[in-house]
Chains A and B, each alone.
Chain A
Amino acid sequence: MTPSQGENGAAAEGDIAAALGATPAATQPKASPVSAGPEIARAQGGSAPLGTPVVTAATSNPLTAPPSARRTLAQRAIDRVPVKWLGTGLTVIFLATTAAFGGLAEVPKPKTPLLELGQTFVGAEVEMTPVSLTVVDELRGSGVFPEPGERVLSLVMDVRNLSEFARSSAVDDTLGGLRIEELEDVKPSIARLDDDTGSPWLQPGIPVRVVASWPVPAPSYTDGAQARLLLSTATRGVGQFVLYGVTWDDVRVGGHMDLAVEDLGTAEESE
């Protein structure tokens, strides 16, 4: 055995320390456990001269022995954790998750569908089928009273309430949520086409033809002009403090429809 060279050196020292292990127990019975001898010897590695009795370092200063022993244990434990693999693994998981949800690119907003005349839109359990869009000087029974310089823009629409209970047509979660894009946030007046009942109640499952009307500046809509209708939808919820408390939350635009305006001039009748 050559004690000084290469990797063998450490082994040799370990062997020596092990060989000397019995010594402190014999000379100093009060010292730290016997095993401390070889532990420290290993920890100190090749720094201790071969000739020096390694055990004396431990035995002569017993106070330092337990912490150094603990550090060794901790270091050993840490050594067992595959830190590099852990880091790599976490990075891979993060990248994979990000990729699975479409990467870091901006999430595309769901497009509001553009419907065509004749198509039916269902929003907040109300079936809506626009029929025509007209502009007229005055429309009695529509609920809109145009001021000088204004005319009445009227949407004729077939409606059916798909809920299991009657609902007012005037509220935002039914037809009160209809908008004309160019008119910003003007609520329509709703009336039945057949008997002019204003803000009619929509009985469950019963189809009805209604007129939704807005006052508009006279020159803004002429024959053939285009107007974009915003059809609203909402999410059904259950109220907490109301019996039969159905609530309609998150009222939003659910569909668009571009309609050509038909000018009825000064027509007095509602159709």
Chain B
Amino acid sequence: MSRVMTWIATIVLLIAAGIVSASAPAEDAEADPFFVTGKIGEPVTGRDIVATVTDARTTTLLTAADGWRSEANWLVVDLEAASVTGPLLADITGAVSLHGAVFVLDGREFRASERMDSLFGQRLNPGVPYAGALAFELSELAGTGVLQLSLTSDRRVDSVLEVPIDLDEREPADELAMPETAWAR
């Protein structure tokens, strides 16, 4: 082989190695969740969760039915949620619940508030969705964030529903009451 051919082969192999190296997935990519992205108002379906965000509201004073109230920057996400394959009858082993609810804003992961009754942690049934709301206590009501819903807070190798929510276009209400969880239909 001529010297020129050697050089060409070397460069070709180096480029090929670079492409392989650059396109290789990250080491922990095998545990990545499966993101399913949707919009407000349309159902988003994952492996065992289907949810429809019906509205997203902001307020600086949130109240709940039991007299609880809090003055802070609150995002209230109204949604309907159901499981897809979960057991219909109460069955402890197969029960699935909405335990993963995160609002990612500006690189921070805010967890749905556990301070009042909400859909957070609600057991889900297939076919018949629950309607209710999730509340997020945020540092500020500005920017665009992403709502992420999953069955468990451990989101490895399972569906995560994503719905972007723009906070800038929402005028914070003086006061909002947390809607109670009920059957959607």
Contact = CB atoms under 8 A, between A and B. Distances in A.
A203 B110 contact: yes
A243 B139 contact: no
Interface stretch (A19-27, A130-138, A172-180, A189-197): A189-197
Given A166-B109, A243-B28, A243-B33, A203 B156 contact: no
B111 A242 contact: no
A203 to B, nearest CB: 5
A168 to B, nearest CB: 9
A242 B137 CA distance: 26
A206 interface: yes
B68 interface: yes
Majority secondary structure, A binding face: loop
B111 A203 contact: yes
A203 B105 CA distance: 12
Interface residues of B, number: 22
A165 interface: yes
Contacts of A241: 31
A94 interface: no
B155 A204 contact: no
Interface in B103-154: 107-111, 113-115, 137-139, 154
A211 to B, nearest CB: 15
A205 B70 contact: no
Interface string A151-188: 00000000000001110000000000000000000000
B32 interface: yes
Contacts of A195: 68, 70, 115
A194 B155 CA distance: 31
A164 B156 contact: no
A255 interface: no
Interface in B59-116: 68, 70, 72, 102, 107-111, 113-115
A203 B135 CA distance: 12
B111 A201 contact: yes
B108 A242 contact: no
Nearest to A202: B111
Interface residues of A, number: 17
Contacts of A165: 108-109, 111
A206 B114 contact: no
A204 B73 CA distance: 13
Interface in B30-49: 31-33
B156 A243 contact: yes
A146 interface: no
A243 B34 CA distance: 13
A254 interface: no
B179 to A, nearest CB: 19
A217 interface: no
Nearest to B68: A195
27 contacts: A165-B108, A165-B111, A166-B102, A166-B111, A194-B70, A195-B68, A195-B70, A195-B115, A197-B115, A200-B114, A201-B111, A201-B114, A203-B111, A203-B137, A203-B138, A204-B108, A204-B110, A204-B139, A205-B108, A206-B72, A206-B137, A206-B138, A241-B31, A242-B31, A243-B28, A243-B32, A243-B155
Interface of A: 164-166, 192, 194-195, 197, 200-201, 203-206, 241-244
